[in-house]
Amino acid sequence: MARRWDAAVRRSRDEPNDFARDLFDGLPARYDALEELLSFGQNRRWRSAMVGAVAEGRPRSVLDVATGTAGVALMLARRTDAEITGVDLTEQMLHRGRDRVTAAGERRIRLAVARAEQLPFPDATFDALTFTYLLRYVTDPEATLRELARVVRPGGTVASLEFAVPPGPVWLPAWRLYTRVVLPGAGFLTGGREWARVGRFLGPSIEEHYRSYPVERHVAMWRAAGFEDVQTRAMSLGGGLVMRGRRTSV
């Protein structure tokens, strides 16, 4: 079993787009409820902190990358007057997102299939940008951040949410127990084999990512991509990481 999930982590690193599409393609129907399980029940609070960083700038247009089932896009619509575009790799997730947008009667959100590494928008299109749980699923996080920066207008705010690894010696062992044992079992009971698969993958994937890209490197990558005033906020004892920055004006 350990070898199987080591192989999964390696594939997520070597073929991240294909792996992400395969991992999430069968999950849309229960994604929103079970996402809370994967985030220790903290996902809504983490999202709110990310969206708040963008909303305070009163943007007229926002791009939400890795929008999934449009949860962040809908939160942006509730907290801003912006026109919102959400993009994601997985068509099935977007189908669920469109259903949610329609049910909410929200006409300021449009959703489309697109890759974060190659966005189908001209330079400086959006006033602000959000992305969620993205950088573990791209081949080159640095190049992806440059592409995200490209479509944001100078001075625009970018904010992100990622899972993170809590510090030791108390919280790290507890987090590992949760992600290695509790999460797969709870995922199976509430979401079946697909969510058990996600649960088993999540912990090793997060740790692998932060071994290569610790938080300090994330900050450096944002700055190199063209963002200034880059800030980080560890949430829920370090289980979540919200970042924000401003597109360089010069």
Task: Per residue of the chain (250 residues), give pLDDT as tens.
Answer: 444 434 444 444 545 555 555 555 555 455 666 566 666 678 889 999 999 999 999 999 999 999 999 999 999 999 999 999 999 998 988 999 999 999 999 999 999 999 999 999 999 999 999 999 999 989 999 999 999 999 999 999 999 999 999 988 888 998 888 888 777 776 666 666 766 676 677 788 889 999 999 999 999 999 999 999 999 999 998 989 999 999 998 6
pTM of model > 0.75: yes
CA angle 183, 187, 192 (to 5 degrees): 155
Domains of the chain: 2-247 (3.40.50.150)
Give the pLDDT of residue 180: 80
What sections of the chain are H helices per DSSP? 2-14, 16-24, 31-38, 43-55, 71-79, 91-103, 141-150, 171-177, 183-212, 215-225
Give the pLDDT of residue 12: 45
- Residue 6 contacts residue 204 (beta carbons within 8 Å): yes
Give the pLDDT of residue 225: 98
Q: How far apart are the first and last CA of the chain?
A: 51
The owner of tokens 């597109």 is 247
Q: How far is Cα 212 from Cα 207, in angstroms, rounded to an integer?
A: 9
